[in-house]
Amino acid sequence: MKPTHIEHIGIAVEDLDSAIEYYENVIGLKCYAIEEVRDQKVKTAFFKVGDTKIELLESTDTEGPVSKFIDKRGPGLHHIAFAVADVNAALNEAQKKGIRVIDREGRDGAEGFQIGFLHPKSTMGVLTEFCSE
């Protein structure tokens, strides 16, 4: 597994509209897509910065991972996502190296990507995602 770049940085927010306003008016980025990802119980907003994206995450369900995260830790940096050629191979390889995976194989994420997560307790506190097109 060799990631090509940081595909996106996920940021948990309480209110998508006001977060979009901040990234547009203060940081100067343009939101180019808003998408609900039912499987992940989130509504997302995307901004491009070079090869990397900022993904804002607003929870759509009080039992969803982002809602739980905000309840426990407050809004803020949620995860880092590495672009890889094959998400299943990357998850497999991490697992073989003794890393605890959340997903054994890729699932559907935003923008048509296949995504899979490594558990933050196994990755020095950083929820880590692999994604492939």
Nearer to ligand CMX by Cβ, of 6 and 25: the residue is 6
Number of other CB atoms surrounding residue 130 within 10 Å:
29
- Give me the least distance between CB of 3 and ligand CMX, in Å please: 16
Residue 129: CB minimum distance to ligand CMX, A = 6
DSSP secondary structure letter of residue 23: H
Q: Which residues bind ligand CMX (CB under 6 A)?
A: 10, 37, 40, 42, 44, 55, 57, 65-66, 68-69, 72-73, 78-79, 102, 109-110, 117, 119-121, 125, 127
| Cβ atoms of residues 12 and 66 within 8 Å | yes
The least distance separating ligand CMX from the CB of residue 102, rounded to whole angstroms, comes to: 5
Give the residue with the Cβ less far from ligand CMX, 25 or 58: 58
C-alpha to C-alpha distance for 115 and 42, rounded to whole angstroms: 14
CB of 42 to ligand CMX, least distance (A): 5
Nearest to 34 by CA among 111, 103, 97, 109: 111
Phi and psi, residue 88, nearest 5°: -65, -40
Between 25 and 111, CB nearer to ligand CMX: 111
